[in-house]
Amino acid sequence: MSGLFSRKHVLATVAVSSLVVFSAVFAKQASAPTNYSELASSKLQSRTTTSVVELLDDMHYEHRVLNATLSSQVFDRYFKDLDGQHAYFLASDLQGFEVYRKTFDNALKKGDLKGAFLIYNRYQQRVAERLNFVIAELDKGVDKMDFAKDEALEVDREKSPWAANRAELDDLWRKRLKAAALSLRLTGKSDADIQKTLGKRYKSQLNNLYRTKSDDAFQVFMNSFTETYDPHTEYFSPRTEENFNINMSLSLEGIGAVLQNEDEYTKVVRLVPAGPADKAGQLKTGDRIVAVAQGDQEFVDVVGWRIDEVVDLIRGAKGTTVRLQIIPAGAVDETQTKAISIVRNTVKLEDQAAQKKILTIKRGEETLKIGVIKLPAFYADFQGMQAGDPNYRSTTRDVKKLINELKAEKINGLVLDLRNNGGGSLSEANSLVGLFIGTGPTVQVKNANGKVEVLGDPDPSVIYSGPLAVMVNRLSASAAEIFAGAIQDYGRGLVIGSTTFGKGTVQSLRDLEYGQLKLTEAKFYRISGASTQHRGVSADISFPNVFDEADIGESALPNAMPWDTIPSARYFPYQDYSKRLPALRQASEARQATDPDFRYLNENIALARELKKQESLSLIEARGNKD
């Protein structure tokens, strides 16, 4: 199988004398009272750590050496995963923990998690301090806040220095509280309602903090470690392993969305094609979920909640309604929240199967019939195949049937729509290429030992030989990129849209004594020898890209493996479009410049990019109303 996305976290050890000194410093600083017990690692987690280290050393594609250099990267990644916006830790915390920067490598090899848990417990303490601070500030009354004072909140603190003292953090969190209150004020809520809403939010976050388990700390740290290898290698704790279908569709019955935590929010990474959310058309990639309601019940604020607890609220029986309060993608703060409703349903194979339609287009005096096949994923009913079911479903079988139906209707050209197709079965991508070419290679796969396997189509028959275009966008990934790349390399058709995701790696699941490890073991290459990794497949004819490549795509992920090349496979192109492409691009650009839909889309993209450049958020209420 070949598909999208991931998430991760690490450990430590130090000389006994240094640890004694550091522990004394820690005890002196940890003066704030807390209602939770400090977390400690288990022997089972320790053994699992050494197993993960061994698997990465033996089987990861890049064979990275776990040394002091990698330890330093793990150290930085761990703090980024815990506090990416520099809103909790103090500069003195980082300085005190610096003793672990070059020792995580040896600690990991020994299964020593003391340092990792010490850091996590400090993080817990700082989060509790911040939440107790804003709760106390909120108790003073929203009506006591000065919304006329000229001050602003820094939007992105990822590169800002760590706070030098508690007073700096107090000022930051006072502004964060004021921004949250102001955003609710601008939606028309009264001060009393705001106080109630925010009070419930922060107390809920505090209660969630008190329910943190050892597994939570372990998974964060282990993924900070595995993420230094590549963004798709990750550790699944037993609970995450059980809920792995969250990464696919949130459950068999749900809304069909892939979610992840981003700072305090639950962010939509992508929608499952033909799932309830996708069909409803209201939820979009990049939207942030701030509250969830069951049917017509009251919203439950979920800002700061764990991802699994948010998912538990969104899940539900088929036919029931869930309402989501969201901040749309591109919004700078909460002032643009809106509520949407989605009826939960089962994501069926039939819904995700290829579907066709015919577009009638006038070109001068000529009327053209263009067949369009929408392909949400590369799927196959492997159980039916193995059971010998003659009617088992698969991408290739379904597309072949649809093409024959379209040919019977005398189409003049065919478009395969792979937009938002996150991948799926590699064998199906391979066999689908075979419908449009004679015999020949389709993709190359290079394993961790450097061995290259060339997959190809042995069937000389061609189902469709007419004009062909493949539509892609930034969310077309993995197997979708293999198909588009092969069609482009053969000159069998044109690729139109925007640059694809760039996921050119292959993962497998390895069982552990405690959980599972998803491990990158191979890499895809086009038959031309170019990797699809990192760079994706570039379109021959470009359309506006609604997804910012700085935020979405393999190149936006930390520690993404690089683009490279291997020798080309032996193949024979059908056509060379290089001489015709300049004229085609010029004609397309001219049409886009005058088409009102394209112009509207480009204006929205430009506006979103301008908003993204905003470095601070005004906390003056009058200015917010004016905007």
The pLDDT score that the predictor gives to residue 2 is 45
489 is an active site residue = yes
The pLDDT score that the predictor gives to residue 180 is 92
Average pLDDT for 135-155: 93
Average pLDDT for 463-489: 97
Kindly tell me if the per-residue pLDDT of 247 is higher than 60: no
Q: Tell me what the pLDDT averaged over the chain comes to.
A: 87
pLDDT for 530-589, tens place per residue? 999 999 999 999 999 888 888 889 999 999 999 999 999 999 999 999 899 999 999 999
503 is an active site residue = yes
Same domain flag for 604 and 561: no
Tell which residue, 499, 503, 456, has the closest CA to residue 478: 503
Please indicate whether residue 20 or residue 516 has the higher confidence score (pLDDT).
516
The first and second tokens of residue 379, run together, are: 């799927």
Average pLDDT for 243-263: 60
Would residue 9 count as lying in a domain?
no
pLDDT band at residue 273 under the 50/70/90 scheme: confident
- CATH code, domain with 305: 2.30.42.10
pLDDT for 346-369, tens place per residue? 766 566 789 999 999 988 889 999
Would residue 242 count as lying in a domain?
no
Average pLDDT for 167-177: 97
Ordered strands of the 494-497 beta sheet: 355-363, 366-374, 413-417, 468-472, 494-497, 541-542
Average pLDDT for 178-199: 91
- CATH code, domain with 534: 3.90.226.10
Kindly tell me if the per-residue pLDDT of 33 is higher than 50: no
In whole angstroms, give the CA distance from residue 122 to residue 118.
Answer: 6
The pLDDT score that the predictor gives to residue 263 is 67
The pLDDT score that the predictor gives to residue 211 is 83
The residues, ordered by sequence, that sit 6+ positions from 317 with a Cβ below 8 Å of its Cβ are 253, 344
Same domain flag for 502 and 603: no
Same domain flag for 438 and 478: yes
216, 301, 489, 540: which is the annotated catalytic residue? 489
Where among 321, 346, 371 does a domain terminate?
A: 346
Would residue 6 count as lying in a domain?
no
Note whether 565 and 518 are within 8 A (CB).
no
Kindly tell me if the per-residue pLDDT of 4 is higher than 50: no
Tell which residue, 136, 73, 86, has the closest CA to residue 263: 86
Note whether 71 and 101 are within 8 A (CB).
yes
Maximum separation of any 2 CA atoms in the chain, in Å: 87
Average pLDDT for 588-611: 90
Residue with tokens 């929205």: 604
Would residue 1 count as lying in a domain?
no
The first and second tokens of residue 10, run together, are: 């690490």
Same domain flag for 328 and 396: no
Kindly tell me if the per-residue pLDDT of 613 is higher than 60: yes
Where among 180, 205, 232 does a domain terminate?
A: 232
In whole angstroms, give the CA distance from residue 397 to residue 349.
Answer: 14
Would residue 243 count as lying in a domain?
no
Return the SS3 of 532. coil
Same domain flag for 144 and 206: yes
Would residue 238 count as lying in a domain?
no
pLDDT band at residue 616 under the 50/70/90 scheme: confident
Same domain flag for 265 and 121: no
In whole angstroms, give the CA distance from residue 120 to residue 123.
Answer: 5
Where among 536, 552, 577 does a domain terminate?
A: 577
- Percent pLDDT > 90 in the chain is 65
Same domain flag for 353 and 332: no
Same domain flag for 392 and 430: yes
Kindly tell me if the per-residue pLDDT of 595 is higher than 50: yes
Work out how many domains the chain is built from and give that number: 4
Same domain flag for 265 and 359: no
Would residue 4 count as lying in a domain?
no
503, 523, 540, 618: which is the annotated catalytic residue? 503
The pLDDT score that the predictor gives to residue 610 is 83
The residues, ordered by sequence, that sit 6+ positions from 436 with a Cβ below 8 Å of its Cβ are 462, 463, 464, 465, 468, 487, 490, 492, 493
2, 51, 71, 478: which is the annotated catalytic residue? 478
Rg (Cα) of the chain, in Å, rounded? 26
Mean pLDDT lowest among 140-154, 437-451, 475-489, 610-624: 610-624
The pLDDT score that the predictor gives to residue 192 is 93
The first and second tokens of residue 365, run together, are: 């005096």
Mean pLDDT lowest among 64-78, 273-287, 498-512: 273-287
The first and second tokens of residue 484, run together, are: 């588009």
pLDDT for 81-113, tens place per residue? 999 999 999 999 999 999 999 999 999 999 999
The pLDDT score that the predictor gives to residue 161 is 96
**CA 623 to chain CA centroid, nearest Å:** 34
Would residue 527 count as lying in a domain?
yes
Kindly tell me if the per-residue pLDDT of 600 is higher than 80: yes
The first and second tokens of residue 307, run together, are: 């991802």
The pLDDT score that the predictor gives to residue 335 is 61
The pLDDT score that the predictor gives to residue 414 is 98
Same domain flag for 559 and 593: no
The pLDDT score that the predictor gives to residue 18 is 28
Write the DSSP assignment of 161-213 as a string of letters.
PPBSSHHHHHHHHHHHHHHHHHHHHTTT--HHHHHHHHHHHHHHHHHHHHT--
Domain that includes residue 306, residue range? 250-346
pLDDT for 37-80, tens place per residue? 799 999 999 999 999 999 999 999 999 999 999 999 999 999 99
Same domain flag for 306 and 407: no
CA dihedral (329, 331, 332, 334) positive or negative = negative
Same domain flag for 401 and 457: yes
